[in-house]
Chains A and B, each alone.
Chain A
């Protein structure tokens, strides 16, 4: 009787749609990461009064290809005393966790293709921001496993630094986020963007929170001034000292993917996501139609992320690296109390508002 019944109905069109979206998002992340390396070198050069790479192609725009090709052709070295399985697992995990963040970020509103409504978000889960937190804290495993498996004291030192740094800064990050969540009242990134579209961007409601979040984002992505895990000049590259060829490439690449996606997360949380500034999106939909608005929104989102990436680089070529005790001081004695203070003030203000500003 039940034999002809379909027990599990799979919406194959939805499946394809999501698959295409996943491929596009991953490709875009990798492409941006690739060109971030180029941008990084150009920005560094410009800030040091140089002109940067300009030999491969016009203005050196083929430089990332040349770098990638070089990495592919390098000899693949696995140290004799390393634990081979973990050694290979390290870069895989680093890359995987970096890309996994992109799954919950709303890249734009919805498109109408062939009468179907396609949302530009791979998975609109209602705990989006928690998911990001989970994945980001997994990210340290890539570094830790890689550093441990190398069986090299400098690698291990770098890995230890990375682990303790990320754990320390995740605390402040989480508490800042609590303040934000108290305001938005939702964990879904899509809803947060929808709220910011109609009202003020969260940066204006949570300026201190954003500052803490930004500093922690620098620490989480291991960017200067918090790049102690790699620290070329003291740890010879830290956790990836023993890596060569594309495994090294994966580590370096994962850092840039992280940068891109943390830019995306910060934009979503504090800068209105794909909201077009100074324009009422709902009115625009009536004028030029939903599809065009969505495309413009995607572009705006992208520009916002690029500004963040530029900021990351700008800071890198300005601020020198922290000493380790300074890093810990900042994390535990300054950012954490500040985040707590921010949370308390936010909570108090929300309560006051509910009470119509009476004590």
Chain B
């Protein structure tokens, strides 16, 4: 029969000769291979201390962004919830009161913003849908919790640290993904 691909490898079914049958040369060959690996460079990365660099399109847990003055960007327009294929996002909006201008950038803000991390598929469509540059997928990942309800992230879990009071935490939460002010890292 003619082979369909060129990847065919014929199996050698000849009888083993004496040299092969005494088995020891093969063992010695194997030993030399393992000894070579003994002195090879190790591939291990000591995880908590060392982290492998992420790819530029890595999509981790969401964060809710603030502007440079520490005001929340989100206006609770609901586009992210609409875009979400897993229906993981819910929110409630509220109107900004006078005197709250330092907290929220625009007149409307999200009083409640929840993402169910068990439903979320980390597709990043919320990020693409957001017109206000408010929701981002960060480089944080692997959430852990003892209870399912712990995976429903509210505003206090999602909000990025204030850039004015905690600039380091802000930069860390933002990660290296957000390079351009309008960019998403994964746009075409």
Contacts and interface: CB of A to CB of B under 8 A. Distances in A.
B35 A314 contact: yes
A9 interface: no
B147 interface: no
A318 B31 contact: yes
Interface residues of B, number: 14
Contacts of B33: 318
Contacts of B34: 47, 314, 317-318
B43 A314 contact: no
B27 A50 contact: no
Interface of A: 43, 46-51, 54, 314-315, 317-319
Contact of B31 (A43, A48, A49, A314): A314
5 contacts: A46-B38, A47-B35, A314-B31, A318-B27, A318-B31
B27 A49 contact: no
A49 B30 contact: no
B44 interface: yes
A151 to B, nearest CB: 38
- Interface SS majority for chain B: helix
Interface of B: 27, 30-31, 33-35, 37-38, 40-44, 46
B38 A47 contact: yes
Contacts of A54: 46
A49 B46 contact: no
A58 to B, nearest CB: 14
A20 B34 CA distance: 41
Given A318-B27, A318-B30, A319-B27, A48 B35 contact: no
Contact of B44 (A43, A47, A50, A319): A50
Contact of B42 (A50, A315, A317): A50
B31 A51 contact: no
Given A46-B37, A48-B37, A319 B30 contact: yes
A97 to B, nearest CB: 29
B35 to A, nearest CB: 7
A261 to B, nearest CB: 23
Contacts of B27: 315, 318-319
A315 B33 CA distance: 11
Nearest to A50: B44
A105 B46 CA distance: 43
Nearest to B35: A314
A49 B42 contact: yes
Nearest to B30: A318
Nearest to B22: A334
A316 to B, nearest CB: 10
B178 to A, nearest CB: 34
A51 B47 CA distance: 13
By Cβ-Cβ distance, the 6 closest A-B pairs, closest first, are A318-B34, A47-B34, A318-B30, A51-B44, A51-B42, A46-B38
Contacts of A50: 42-44
A23 to B, nearest CB: 36
Contacts of A46: 37-38, 42
Given A47-B37, A314-B35, 18 more contacts: A46-B37, A46-B38, A46-B42, A47-B34, A47-B35, A47-B38, A48-B37, A49-B37, A49-B40, A49-B41, A49-B43, A51-B44, A314-B31, A314-B34, A315-B27, A315-B31, A318-B27, A318-B34
